[in-house]
Amino acid sequence: MEFIDKNGTWKEQKNKLKKRFAILIDSDLILEEGKKQEMFSKLQIKLNLSKLELDRILNEI
């Protein structure tokens, strides 16, 4: 099952994130059912962003 957000499929979004943040790798962006918030928390730490900053970026892409 593919995660679809208002901005398109997760596959499209993660490709945009990888282009914007070269530090991200595929394993950072694995979206498992029921673990969305856990993945976003890990992204916040890796990218040194607040929840608000990460939310803003995700809404932009």
What are the domain boundaries of the chain? 4-60
pLDDT computed for residue 29 by the predictor = 93
Tell me how far apart the alpha carbons of residues 1 and 17 are, in angstroms, rounded to a whole number: 20
Tell me how far apart the alpha carbons of residues 29 and 42 are, in angstroms, rounded to a whole number: 9
Tell me how far apart the alpha carbons of residues 50 and 9 are, in angstroms, rounded to a whole number: 24
19 or 61, which is more confident: 19
pLDDT-derived band at 18 (thresholds 50, 70, 90) equals very high
pLDDT computed for residue 59 by the predictor = 85
pLDDT tens for each residue of 27-45:
999 988 889 899 999 999 9
Show the tokens assigned to 52.
Answer: 């608000």
